[in-house]
Amino acid sequence: MENRRYRRKIALLSGAAVLALALLAGAALRAALPAAVTAEGGAEVPLLPEDGEEKLIALTFDDGPRRSTTTALLDGLAERGVHATFFLIGAQVEGSEDVVRRMEAEGHQVGIHTYDHVALTGLNRADFDAQVGRTRNLLEDVLGHRDFLLRPPYGMTDASVKAWAECPIIIWSIDPEDWRDQNTPREVEEVVSQARDGAIVLMHDIFPASVDAALQIVDRLHGQGYLFVTVEELFAARHIQLEAGKSYSNAYP
């Protein structure tokens, strides 16, 4: 187990180092590279922001995986070279282990969103462990490590949640409430209009409309010079050490 944890930490440090080097090299590369490349599907993706400032944003998805919609989202993100963070429901993982392994293999980050999507506040320790610990163990069986962030349902925390989490707690700074009416154009406009460097966007990969919206958001914000990173990469780039039991909703500069 310790060897697996060590390898995981080395991989994360390596990823953060690569991101940091890319950001530091931005100014030097900007003069030598074209402003954009054409990704599969025809979308133009900027290699580097034109204004000289690297703008980072993290797309996060709750409540999956759902094979149909999550697979479509993974396909679209892969076409665009974008990484995201997926906070998974334990009950949804069972039977979709291959989808979860694909997430991590393609550079996405996997986190915990409880086993049954219940509010964690007010639970006793046994019930908390049945939601968070059980999901952590399940994901360890699938991915071979236990380094997972926690997103509590509804963003609700209390002293017990923070004491028992055993990992950093990730909330969000932009929420288009995509569950409300599943209206793709509205979701796109809400996220794009609120986007800022260091933001964390909450969406759900269980709705087809949200998948469409997420990919349109990527295309729109790429055009504004944003780079999409995982939650872990976002905080590493800002030199913020995530601590167990603490809540984070953004990494604003």
Better-predicted residue by pLDDT, 45 or 174: 174
| Confidence class for position 41, pLDDT limits 50, 70, 90 | very low
| pLDDT, mean over the chain | 86
- Does the pLDDT value for residue 101 go beyond 50? yes
* Cα 150 from Cα 132, distance rounded (Å): 8
* Active-site option among 62, 147, 197, 212: 62
| C-alpha dihedral sign at 14, 17, 23, 27 | negative
Task: Please count the helices (runs of H) and the strands (runs of E) in the chain.
Answer: 12, 9
- Does the pLDDT value for residue 51 go beyond 90? no
* Cα 115 from Cα 131, distance rounded (Å): 5
Average pLDDT over residues 143-156: 98
pLDDT at 214: 98
- Does the pLDDT value for residue 18 go beyond 90? no
Better-predicted residue by pLDDT, 51 or 82: 82
Instruction: Give the predicted TM-score (pTM) of the model.
Output: 0.82
* Cα 137 from Cα 26, distance rounded (Å): 40
| Confidence class for position 244, pLDDT limits 50, 70, 90 | very high
pLDDT digits (tens, 9 = 90+) for 180-219: 999 999 999 999 999 999 999 999 999 999 999 999 999 9
* Active-site option among 108, 113, 145, 204: 204
> Pairing state of beta strands 85-88 and 55-64?
parallel
Secondary structure element (H or E) that encloses residue 214, with its range: helix 208-223
Nearest by Cα to 104 from 140, 129, 131: 140
Sole residue written with tokens 């993974």: 74
Nearest by Cα to 138 from 84, 83, 101: 101
Greatest CA separation found in the chain?
Answer: 58
**Amino acid identity, position 61:** F
All domains of the chain in start order, with CATH: 2-248 (3.20.20.370)
Helix (H, G, I), strand (E, B) or coil at 236: helix
* Cα 212 from Cα 209, distance rounded (Å): 5
Better-predicted residue by pLDDT, 39 or 217: 217
For this structure, is 113 an active site residue?
no
* Bridge partners, residue 88, by sequence: 64, 112
**Amino acid identity, position 229:** V
pLDDT digits (tens, 9 = 90+) for 128-141: 999 999 999 999 99
For this structure, is 204 an active site residue?
yes
* Cα 34 from Cα 46, distance rounded (Å): 8
User: How much of the chain exceeds pLDDT 70, in percent?
Assistant: 79
